[in-house]
Each structure stands twice: as C-alpha cells, then as structure tokens.
Amino acid sequence: MIRYALHCDRDHAFEGWFGSSQDYEDQAERGLVECPVCGSLAVRKQIMAPAVSGTKKRDVAAEPSPRQMMMEAMRRVRQHVEANFDDVGDTFATEARAIHEGKAEDRGIYGQATPEEVKGLVEDGVPVAPLPPAPPQPPKKTRLN
C-alpha cells in the first residue's frame, strides 16, 4: 500500500491509500478521488518524502491517534454543515419531507428531530443523517473561595 498526501483546489489536505502508484492515477482519471471535506474532484498529490525504515525510533507522541483523527474529521463535518446549510431548528422533519417531495427549495438543512420523526423519514426514503456532536467545551473555571 502507498499513502499519498493529497489536497484539493480549495486547499483541504487529506491522505489516501492506494495499492500502487498506477491505482492512484487510474482512480484520479476516472474521477473517483475526491476531497472528503468539500467533495471536490480537483485533487492533486502533495510533495512528500518517502517513508524509509531506519533504526531511529519514531516520535509516536507527535502523530495523532486514530481517535484524534476521527474527532477532527467529525469536527470538520459539523463545521461545514453549520457554515453552509440552513438551520431549520425543530421543523427539520417537516422541512426535509417538503424538500424531498419537491414542495420546498432543494437545499442543505440541519436541525432537530425526534427519533419517531427520523424513523418516519427513513421509512419514506427521505435521505437523513445524524450530525456529529459538537465538541465538548472545557469546564468553566470557578472560584472556590
């Protein structure tokens, strides 16, 4: 497997794993390599040094853990949705259904829905997905005295 550092025309950096250099080229030519942040197909390889095995120990602490990478990806998804979609609040189910049925403007929305509303939307074929949770806020400092 080959790991490539990639970036899109909107300067989002990410990485991709490919079986060979030719696999990357083939997938890129067919439009199968896209930015996970914005969906752009204008993706290019970044200049990167080859990974060569040696006797020096790697600084594992400097590398983000899989959990940290997942949390960052979820943070970016939420940030993108909040910046680019309309917050319809607790009318989400009604608005999503209206968009699906062509009765409202087709646009990205987010908001709140009860589990029963979500179940009804899914059963009716309305595409919905949960928004990643907001990152935890640091505790407020309080004075004890």
Pair 41, 70 in one domain: no
Asked if residue 136 is part of any domain, the answer here is: no
Are 88 and 110 in contact, with CB atoms under 8 Å apart? yes
pTM, whole model, 2 decimals? 0.52
- Total number of domains constituting the chain: 2
Shared-domain flag, residues 119 and 70: yes
Instruction: Give the domain extent around 36.
Output: 2-45
Regarding whether 75 and 40 lie in a shared domain, the answer is no
Tens of pLDDT, residue by residue over 28-54, are 888 888 888 888 889 988 876 565 555
Are 85 and 115 within one domain?
Answer: yes
70 and 119 together in one domain: yes
Distances (CA, A) of 4 to 29, 53, 54, 72, 113: 16, 17, 20, 19, 39
pLDDT tops 70 at residue 139? yes
Answer yes or no: do 79 and 117 share one domain.
yes
